[in-house]
Amino acid sequence: MLQNIDRFLEEARRFNASTSEEIEQFRIKYLGKKGLLSDLFKSFKEVPVEQKKEVGQKINQLKQFITEKVEELMSTISDDVAGDNSADLTLPGPPLQLGARHPISIVRNQIIEIFGRLGYTISEGPEIEDDWHVFSALNFPPEHPARDMQDTFFIEKDPDILLRTHTSSVQVRVMEKEQPPIRTISPGRVFRNEAISARAHCIFHQVEGLYIDDNVSFADLKQTLLYFAREMFGKKVEIRLRPSYFPFTEPSAEMDISCQICGGKGCNVCKYTGWLEILGCGMVDPNVLEFNHIDSKKYTGLAFGMGIERVAMLKYQVRDLRLYFENDIRFLKQFQAAY
């Protein structure tokens, strides 16, 4: 047996290979399940006790030698790709996976584009705001429920600092800097202390719109929003304005669009009303103009605010808001970016 081992060792020492296939055969011959080493280990049982130590050592030496030899041979050929004719260097590389735009970005860009055609500029403001810009300058009475801890994330050390709950705060930022004519939209992230569900999230996106000039009327508001709805959802869409209340607009309204799924006949998406709510709007309250040093005798304004997730849900018929935040590639790659 000792002689056999020596012979194997000698053979292995002399072995050389130029392809990975040859090395693999060599490895199988010695180290494979039915290989020579496995045979040696099997017949080890019959070795007389006094020889066991020496034979055992030799077998282990052989195993180690083969293992190292295989590694060494592999390392020489893997560097030398040209020698391994299994690699075809003329093949094209694997195709790169193309990413897709997020549906919220697609819809935001489309909203920007539609209002851009009507002459609206884009303005931005900070996400971490103060009470003045989010509430007080927008005519929220001090005890208004929207300031409640339930809805607003306040910064613990200073209750005057908070995460903006709506992009209406950017209206104030714009009025501080500019005098009419003002025509601008403000897309951005907003934050509310809400439990996450299919219909609500603590972080979401809004677009605010503001148009102040002499002679801006409710008719302008209605026509602007009708134009927007038809550009976004299709030429057949009808709109409906319902009276509502917001502290910063007077009169205020909420706008519904005719249900795209049933065409207004009534279905479970529109809860059999034929209408779906999409935004809040109104004529800028004169108090808000005055707070921000705009002459309310001379100027009037219209304003509106919509949730981008909501518009995207209606446009793409997405039933669960959480899908927008999960980054599941199977969801995200379904959206074609025209914008």
Contact residues for ligand DAH, defined by CB under 6 A: 166, 168, 208, 246, 249, 280-282, 303-305
Smallest gap from residue 303 Cβ to ligand DAH (A): 3
DSSP output for 32-64: STTSHHHHHHHHGGGS-HHHHHHHHHHHHHHHH
Contact 185, 112 (CB under 8 A): yes
Give whichever of 58 and 192 is closer to ligand DAH, judged by the CB atom: 192
Give the nearer residue to ligand DAH in terms of CB position, either 58 or 205. Answer: 205
Q: Which residue has 């995200």 as its token pair?
A: 332
Instruction: For Cα atoms 211, 245, 190, give the angle at the middle one, nearest 5 degrees.
Output: 65
Q: CA 274 to CA 251: how far, in whole Å? A: 25
Contacts of 249 (CB under 8 A, 6+ apart): 281, 282, 283, 284, 285, 303
Q: How far is the CB of 198 from ligand DAH (least distance, A)?
A: 19
Q: How far apart are CA 298 and CA 292, in angstroms?
A: 14
- Least separation in angstroms between residue 193's CB and ligand DAH is 14
Smallest gap from Cβ 96 to ligand DAH, in A, equals: 40
* Sheet of 154-155, strand order: 128-130, 158-163, 154-155
Nearer to ligand DAH, 246 or 335 (CB): 246
Shortest distance, position 104 Cβ to ligand DAH, whole Å: 16
Report, in Å, the least distance between residue 90 CB and ligand DAH: 59
Find out whether 125 and 170 touch, Cβ atoms under 8 Å: yes
For residue 100, the 8-state DSSP code is -
Paired sense of beta strands 182-191 and 121-122, if any: parallel
Q: Give the DSSP letter of residue 98.
A: P
> With respect to ligand DAH, which residue has the nearer C-beta, 224 or 249?
249
Number of Cβ atoms within 10 Å of the Cβ of 157: 6
* Cβ distance to ligand DAH smaller for residue 233 or 246: 246
For residue 270, the minimal CB distance to ligand DAH (Å) is 20
Q: Which is nearer to ligand DAH, 103 or 282 (CB)?
A: 282
Q: Say if residue 286 is preceded by a cis peptide, omega within 30 of 0.
A: no
Kindly state the smallest distance separating residue 335's Cβ from ligand DAH, in Å: 25
58 vs 184 by CB, closer to ligand DAH: 184
Residue 110 vs 139, nearer CB to ligand DAH: 139
**CB-based closest residue to ligand DAH:** 305
